[in-house]
C-alpha cells in the first residue's frame, strides 16, 4: 500500500454512548451513566489511532455540546476530524446502554433524524478520501437512502484513488427498522432486502468483517458456510468471521467445505465484563496488522487480543488499548491484571503539555491568616482569587507565553470555585487541592472517601495533594500517610483524574538535599506513583539529577515534576530553575506566594485597588516566567 497522510478513514456513526454504571440490574433501574464517544466507525478510529495508525473520520455531529464532545475527544486521541461536518438542525446521536449480565446488554438508540444519518454524497471530499490508504464503511450507513448515497460516493472516490475499501457489516436490526426501540441488543433478523443491499457493495470491497450473524445477513443465508460462499461469489475480498470467545477465521480464497481449514486464530481467555464494542476492538486490532501488511494469521491474533481487552472493561472507545499495552498483553500470556490496567490508564491519557507555567493560588489557611491580620472577612478571599485569575489571564495573553508552554494554575474549590468555573474548558493545566491545609498526618477535606468527592470534579482538574513527608518520620506517622496516599491514588485511578503529589519535608529537614529524593524513593517503594510531582526548589544540579534518576527508573510514564516556590526570592528561584534545567523531567513551575502575596497584603489592607492587584500579579508572574525561560544548565 502506498504512503499517504492517513492510514484509515472511518465513515459513519459518530455518537455519544451513555453507559450505565450500575451492573447486574435492569436498564430501568440504572441511576448514573458514564459518557463516552460511541458509534462503530468512531470507536474504530480511536482504537486504530491508539495502536499507532493515522486515522480519520467522515461523519456529522450536532451543533451542540455532545457534538463538540465527540469532535474534541476524537481530536485528543489523535484522530483527524477534518471530515466531520456540523449540522445546525439535527442532534448528535445518543445510545443508552446497560450491563445486566454476561450475555445481556440492553441498549436504546436515540438516532431518529440524527446528525450522522444526514451525511450526504456531496459532503464527501474526494481528496480527503484519497489521502488515506483505506476507507472503512459500515452497514448501518446503507440503511437510509441519503447515507447510502454518501457511502457509495465515498466508495467510488476510494476506488478511483486506489484506496482500499473495508466493510464492517455492523448489523443492528433496530437501525433498519426491524425491531422496536426496546430491541436494541437484538443482533439478527433475517431480511432478503437488506441482504441484497449489503451485497451490492461487496464487489468493491477489499476486506469484509462480520460476526457469524452479520455474515448470515450479508450472505443471505442462516448457515455460515453457505453465507460465506455467496459472499465469495460477489467479491475477492479477504473475509473475516468473528466468533467471539472462539476467536476468528480468515479466508483469502475459496471457501472450504470445512471452515476450520481457513486461517483460524483462537480467542484469548479473559473475564468477560461487557461484550459491547468487542467487534470494534477486534476490527481495530485486525486493521493495525492488515494496514501494516502483516500476515493474516497475525492480523487475526491482533484482533482477538484487542477484542479480549475491550470485553474485560466498561465502555468501548475508552477500553481500546495502546500499542504498548497490547504488546505487553500479547507477550505476557496472562489475563488482564492490575498492572495491565494501570498501563492502560497511563498510556491512553491525553498528551501532557511540553511545559507548564502554573500560578499556585490554592492557598486557604495562608490567605485566611492575611485576611484576619488585616481585619477583612474571609468572604473577600474569593474576590481576591478572581483578581489573581484576571492577573494570570492578562499575563498569559502576552507574547511572553509561547505556544510550547501552557499557562496553568492550582486553584481550590473553597474560595476559588468561581475561578474553576471561569476556566472550565479553557485548555489550561488545572490542579485542585484535596488535602486539609497543613495536616500531618495527611487528611482530606473530602474524608472519609475522596473517591466520592472526585466523581463530582471535572476530568480536566488534576487532583493535587500536599503531604509533609520524610523518611525519618516515625513509622506510625509514615504508615498513616502511606495509607491515605494509596487511597487517593486508587480513587484517582477509578475516576480518571490525574494525581499531582506535592512533597515537602518537615521544616527541620527542608535544608537536607537528600530529603526529597529519599521521600520519593520511599513512596515508590510503597506503590505510590503519581502522574506528577511538585517539588521544593533545590539549588543543586546533583539533587535534581538524583531525583530525575529515581523517577525515570521507578515510573517511566510519570509526566514529570514542577518546581514550587516556598515564598522564595526571585534570585533563589533562578538558581533552582538553572539547576533543574538539565533534567528531562522538569516540566515547569507551580509558584504562588512569590507572585501573589505582596498584592494580597496590600489589597486586604485597603492599600491597593483591584486594578493595582491585577497589574501587580500579572507583573510578578511575567517576572517568574522570564526567569524560567532564561534558565541555563551551565549556570547550575
CATH number of domain containing 369 = 3.20.20.70
Length of the chain (residues): 636
Distance, CA of 98 to CA of 110 (rounded, Å): 14
Average pLDDT along the chain: 93
Can you tell me the mean pLDDT for 604-627? Answer: 96
Is 23 a member of any domain? yes
- Residue 289's pLDDT is what? 98
Co-location of 440 and 300 in the same domain = no
Q: What is the pLDDT of residue 636?
A: 39
Smallest CA-to-CA distance from 488 within 516, 437, 529, 536 is with 529
- Cβ distance 219 to 230 under 8 Å? yes
| Residues in Cβ contact with 93 at an 8 Å cutoff, skipping those fewer than 6 apart | 13, 14, 15, 16, 39, 109, 110, 111, 114, 115, 116, 117
The grid coordinates of residue 515 equal 530529603
What pLDDT is recorded for position 184? 63
pLDDT on residue 117: 95
Residues 403 and 523 in one domain: yes
My answer on whether 30 and 151 are in the same domain is: yes
Mean pLDDT over residues 515-541, rounded?
Answer: 94
Say if residue 60's pLDDT is above 50. Answer: yes
What is the pLDDT at residue 178? 81
Same domain, 321 and 446: no
Looking at the fold, whether 220 and 260 belong to one and the same domain comes out as yes
Helix axes 365-373, 593-604, angle to 10 degrees: 30
Q: Residue 308: enclosing H or E segment and its boundaries? A: helix 296-311
Distance in angstroms (rounded) separating the CA atoms of residues 193 and 336 = 42
Do 167 and 209 form a contact (C-beta atoms < 8 A)?
yes
What distance in Å separates the CA atoms of residue 66 and residue 390, rounded to the nearest whole number? 29
- The rounded Cα 434 to chain-centroid distance in angstroms is 22
Residue 93 is classified by DSSP as P
Pair (61, 39) in one structural domain = yes
**Number of domains the chain is built from:** 2
Question: What is the distance between the alpha carbons of residues 399 and 240, in angstroms, rounded to a whole number?
Answer: 54
- My answer on whether 441 and 419 are in the same domain is yes
**3-class secondary structure, 348:** coil
Q: Which of 321, 347, 373 is the last residue of a domain?
A: 347
**Which of 324, 347, 370 is a domain's end point?**
347
pLDDT at 269 over 90: no
Residues 150 and 243 in one domain: yes
Reduced to 3 states (helix: H, G, I; strand: E, B; else coil), residue 253 is coil
Report the Cα 550 to chain-centroid distance in Å: 27
Q: For residue 210, give its domain range.
A: 6-347
Give 399's pLDDT tier (boundaries 50, 70, 90): low
Which pLDDT score, from 0 to 100, does residue 400 have? 55
360 located within any domain: yes
Q: Which range has the worst mean pLDDT, 138-152, 167-181, 253-267?
A: 167-181
Q: Which of 296, 331, 347 is the last residue of a domain?
A: 347
Contact between 76 and 61 under an 8 Å Cβ cutoff? The reply is no
Claim to verify: residue 24 and residue 112 sit in the same structural domain? yes
Q: What is the pLDDT of residue 170?
A: 92
Share of the chain above pLDDT 90, in %: 81
Name the pLDDT band for 561 (thresholds 50, 70, 90). very high
Contact 545, 583 (CB under 8 A): yes
Res 104 pLDDT > 90 = no
Between CA 142 and CA 148, with CA 143 as vertex, the angle to 5 degrees is 35
Work out the widest C-alpha separation in the chain, in whole angstroms: 91
Confidence of residue 174 (pLDDT cuts 50, 70, 90): confident
Three cell numbers written together for 170 = 455492523
Q: Do 561 and 612 fall into the same domain?
A: yes
1 lies in some domain: no
Average pLDDT on 319-333 reads 94
pLDDT value at residue 635: 44
C-alpha 93/C-alpha 14 separation (Å) is 7
Pairing of strands 263-265, 355-360: unpaired
CATH of the domain at 303: 3.40.1190.20
Same domain, 260 and 378: no
- State residue 403's pLDDT score: 59
pLDDT for position 401: 56
**Hey, what's the cell of 143?**
440503511
Q: Using DSSP, state whether 172 is helix, strand or coil.
A: coil
Domain assignment present for residue 499? The answer is yes
The β-bridge relationship of strands 263-265 and 248-251 is antiparallel
What pLDDT band is residue 589 in, cutting at 50, 70 and 90? very high
Whether residue 251 is found in the same domain as residue 384:
no
- 356-377 residues labelled b (16+ CB within 10 A) or e (exposed): bbbbbbbbbebbbebbeebebe
Strand order in the sheet with 94-99: 33-38, 15-23, 94-99, 107-110
Give me the mean pLDDT over the 272-295 stretch. Answer: 92
Amino acid at each position: 500500500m502506498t504512503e499517504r497522510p492517513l492510514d484509515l478513514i472511518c465513515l459513519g456513526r459518530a455518537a455519544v454512548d451513555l453507559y450505565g454504571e450500575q451492573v447486574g440490574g435492569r436498564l430501568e433501574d440504572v441511576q448514573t451513566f458514564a459518557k463516552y464517544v460511541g458509534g462503530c466507525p468512531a470507536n474504530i478510529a480511536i482504537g486504530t489511532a491508539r495502536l499507532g495508525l493515522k486515522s480519520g473520520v467522515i461523519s456529522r455531529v450536532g451543533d451542540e455540546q455532545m457534538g463538540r464532545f465527540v469532535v474534541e475527544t476524537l481530536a485528543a486521541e489523535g484522530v483527524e476530524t477534518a471530515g466531520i461536518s456540523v449540522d445546525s438542525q439535527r442532534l448528535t446521536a445518543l445510545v443508552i446502554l446497560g450491563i445486566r449480565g454476561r450475555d445481556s446488554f440492553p441498549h436504546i438508540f436515540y438516532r431518529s433524524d440524527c446528525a450522522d444519518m444526514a451525511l450526504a454524497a456531496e459532503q464527501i471530499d474526494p481528496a480527503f478520501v484519497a489521502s488515506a490508504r483505506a476507507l472503512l464503511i459500515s452497514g448501518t450507513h446503507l440503511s437510509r437512502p441519503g447515507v447510502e448515497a454518501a457511502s457509495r460516493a465515498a466508495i467510488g472516490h476510494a476506488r478511483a484513488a486506489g484506496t482500499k475499501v473495508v466493510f464492517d457489516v455492523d448489523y443492528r436490526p433496530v437501525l433498519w427498522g426491524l425491531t422496536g426501540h426496546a430491541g436494541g441488543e437484538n443482533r439478527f433478523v433475517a431480511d432478503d432486502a437488506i441482504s441484497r443491499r449489503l451485497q451490492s457493495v461487496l464487489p468493491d470491497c477489499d476486506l469484509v468483517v462480520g460476526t457469524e450473524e452479520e455474515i448470515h445477513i450479508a450472505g443471505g443465508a442462516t448457515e455460515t458456510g453457505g453465507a460465506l460462499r455467496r459472499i465469495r461469489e460477489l467479491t475477492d475480498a479477504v473475509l473475516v468471521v468473528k466468533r467471539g470467545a472462539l476467536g476468528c477465521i480468515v479466508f483469502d480464497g475459496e471457501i472450504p467445505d470445512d471452515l476450520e481449514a481457513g486461517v483460524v486464530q483462537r480467542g484469548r481467555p479473559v473475564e468477560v465484563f461487557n461484550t459491547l464494542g468487542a467487534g470494534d476492538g477486534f476490527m481495530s486490532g485486525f486493521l493495525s496488522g492488515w494496514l501494516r501488511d502483516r500476515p493474516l494469521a497475525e492480523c487475526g491474533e491482533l484482533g482477538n487480543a484487542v477484542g479480549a481487552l475491550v470485553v474485560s472493561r466498561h465502555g468501548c472507545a475508552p477500553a481500546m488499548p495502546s500499542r504498548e499495552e497490547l504488546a505487553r498483553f500479547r507477550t505476557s500470556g496472562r489475563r488482564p491484571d492490575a498492572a495491565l490496567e494501570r498501563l492502560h490508564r497511563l498510556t491512553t491519557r491525553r498528551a501532557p503539555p511540553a511545559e507548564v507555567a502554573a500560578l499556585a493560588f490554592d492557598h486557604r489557611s495562608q490567605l485566611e491568616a492575611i485576611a484576619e491580620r488585616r481585619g477583612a472577612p474571609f468572604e473577600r478571599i474569593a474576590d481576591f482569587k478572581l483578581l489573581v485569575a484576571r492577573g494570570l489571564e492578562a499575563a498569559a495573553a502576552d507574547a511572553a507565553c509561547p505556544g510550547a508552554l501552557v499557562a496553568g494554575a492550582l486553584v481550590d474549590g473553597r474560595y476559588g470555585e468561581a475561578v474553576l468555573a471561569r476556566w472550565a474548558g479553557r485548555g489550561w493545566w488545572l490542579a485542585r487541592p484535596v488535602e486539609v491545609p497543613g495536616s500531618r498526618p495527611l487528611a482530606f477535606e473530602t474524608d472519609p472517601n475522596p473517591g466520592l468527592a472526585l466523581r463530582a470534579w471535572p476530568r480536566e482538574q488534576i487532583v493535587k495533594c500536599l503531604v509533609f513527608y520524610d523518611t525519618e518520620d516515625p513509622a506510625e506517622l509514615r504508615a498513616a500517610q502511606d495509607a491515605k496516599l494509596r487511597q487517593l491514588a486508587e480513587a484517582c485511578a477509578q475516576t480518571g483524574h490525574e494525581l499531582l503529589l506535592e512533597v515537602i519535608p518537615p521544616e527541620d529537614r527542608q535544608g537536607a538535599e537528600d530529603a526529597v529524593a529519599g521521600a520519593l524513593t520511599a513512596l515508590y517503594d510503597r506503590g505510590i506513583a503519581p502522574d506528577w510531582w511538585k517539588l521544593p526548589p533545590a539549588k543543586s544540579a546533583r539533587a535534581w539529577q538524583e531525583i530525575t534518576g529515581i523517577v525515570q527508573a521507578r515510573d517511566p510514564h510519570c509526566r514529570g515534576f514542577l518546581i514550587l516556590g516556598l515564598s522564595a526570592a526571585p534570585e533563589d528561584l533562578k538558581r533552582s530553575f538553572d539547576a533543574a534545567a538539565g533534567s528531562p523531567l522538569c516540566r515547569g513551575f507551580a509558584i504562588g506566594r512569590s507572585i501573589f502575596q505582596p498584592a494580597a497584603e496590600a489589597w486586604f489592607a485597603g492599600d491597593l485597588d483591584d486594578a493595582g492587584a491585577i497589574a501587580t500579579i500579572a507583573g510578578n508572574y511575567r517576572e517568574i516566567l522570564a526567569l524560567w525561560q532564561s534558565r541555563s544548565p551551565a549556570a547550575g
